[in-house]
């Protein structure tokens, strides 16, 4: 018995049933098709400072199915839905900063489709390195040393720190703000170093060449214990940043400044730094959440 060449073939209007261009065929029983199993959506959130989220879609097929997946992010380009995998960048609605980098992937296993979203930069977080420092006290020579704050034996000394282009919209709700100064060292005494940190109360701070600029009402007074070796110093400045961005003429992208002033530390109690290696970073985290929505089309066809 010979197998017959039979089946069903439907071709496009105006095309011949004998066409060899497969694109002319609407349907042919010679070719299989992906068969839809389900379409499901699911959402997850990323809050300020967060970098990732995922949603698992159960399918109960018992094997690894073929699938397609799409993703949209609230506030990002009007929540356009993008095919996964996807790498996209831009800015979130309500934020002038152009630092939103999102990466989405999806995989299937025998029980689940997992869709994930990862941010290259923590959500609602901006960080800037200081681009100017005023040292009230510093030594000379090829490897000068300065006093960040404290009393090196010549009375209390202070510093001013300048950060350019701070992309925090006016009146933003803040989760945190911090200045971290790296590679500092403690003075010789075992006493705490006392300091206060103020913001500079200006809309757009220019170069800091002295300690005479107006300061915010908000300040923090703290004691810093002596620490051995080189270490990193971090200090909260949320209230100061909040006061600055509440100014009438503050705008995202303006410059911001801070004074870290000695607060009657005893002689020999100070926090110092080598001017050639010190660095400072201002990190501001704004309050907020994005919702990431995934849509998954699962087929009954097996990958394996």
Partner 1 sequence: MADWGLKVMVDGKSVDSVEPRDFAFNSQYAIVKIFMEGSGNITVADSEYQTVTITHNLGFIPIALAYCENVPSSGNYYIGSYLASNPIAILNSGITSYDSYLTTTTTVIKFYNNSGTSRTMVYKYYIFADDGA
Positions in the binding site for partner 1 (CB under 8 A): 10, 12, 21-23, 25-28, 31-34, 64, 66-69, 83-87, 103-110, 114, 118, 120, 303-304
Judged by CB, which is closer to partner 1: 21, or 207?
21
Q: How far is CA 251 from CA 165, 212, 288, in A?
A: 10, 23, 19
Q: What are phi and psi of 241, to 5 degrees?
A: -65, -40
Cβ at position 75, least distance to partner 1 in Å: 21
Kindly write down the DSSP assignment for every residue of 163-182, as one continuous string: EEEE---TT--EEEEEEEEE
Query: CA-based Rg of the chain, rounded to a whole angstrom?
Result: 30
Cβ at position 181, least distance to partner 1 in Å: 27
DSSP state of 266: P
Judged by CB, which is closer to partner 1: 30, or 80?
30
Judged by CB, which is closer to partner 1: 133, or 296?
296
Cβ at position 99, least distance to partner 1 in Å: 14
Cβ at position 82, least distance to partner 1 in Å: 12
Judged by CB, which is closer to partner 1: 118, or 204?
118
Cβ at position 69, least distance to partner 1 in Å: 6
Cβ 299 vs Cβ 135: under 8 Å: no
Alpha carbon distance 169, 186 (integer Å): 36
User: How distant is the alpha carbon of residue 72 from its chain centre?
Assistant: 18
Alpha carbon distance 136, 259 (integer Å): 11
Judged by CB, which is closer to partner 1: 24, or 201?
24
**Region label for 171, one of left (φ > 0), alpha (ψ between -120 and 50) or beta (otherwise):** left
């Amino acid at each position: 018995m010979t197998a017959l060449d039979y089946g069903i073939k439907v071709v496009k209007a105006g095309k011949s049933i004998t066409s060899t261009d497969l694109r002319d065929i609407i349907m042919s029983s010679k070719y299989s098709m992906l068969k839809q199993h389900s379409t499901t959506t699911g959402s997850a959130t990323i809050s300020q400072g967060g970098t990732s989220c995922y949603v698992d879609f159960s399918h109960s097929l018992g094997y690894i199915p073929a699938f397609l997946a799409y993703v949209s992010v609230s506030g990002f380009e009007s929540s356009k839905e993008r095919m996964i995998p996807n790498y996209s960048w831009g800015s979130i609605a309500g934020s002038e900063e152009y630092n939103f980098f999102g990466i989405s992937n999806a995989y299937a296993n025998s029980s689940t489709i997992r869709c994930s979203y990862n941010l290259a930069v923590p959500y609602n977080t901006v960080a800037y390195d200081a681009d100017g420092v005023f040292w009230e006290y510093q030594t000379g020579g090829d490897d000068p040393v300065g006093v960040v704050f404290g009393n090196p034996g010549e009375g209390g000394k202070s510093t001013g720190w300048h950060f350019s282009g701070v992309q925090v919209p006016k009146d933003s709700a803040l989760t945190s703000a911090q200045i971290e100064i790296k590679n500092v060292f403690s003075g010789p005494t075992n006493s705490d170093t006392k300091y206060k940190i103020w913001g500079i109360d200006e809309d757009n701070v220019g170069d800091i060449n002295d300690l005479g600029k107006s300061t915010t009402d908000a300040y923090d007074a703290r004691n810093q214990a002596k620490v051995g070796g080189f270490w990193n110093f971090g200090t909260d400045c949320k209230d100061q940043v909040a006061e600055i961005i509440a100014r009438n003429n503050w705008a995202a992208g303006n410059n911001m400044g801070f004074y870290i002033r000695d607060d009657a530390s005893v002689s020999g109690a100070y926090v110092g730094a080598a001017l050639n290696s010190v660095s400072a970073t201002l990190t501001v985290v704004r309050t907020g959440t994005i919702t990431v929505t995934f849509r998954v089309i699962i087929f009954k066809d097996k990958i394996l």
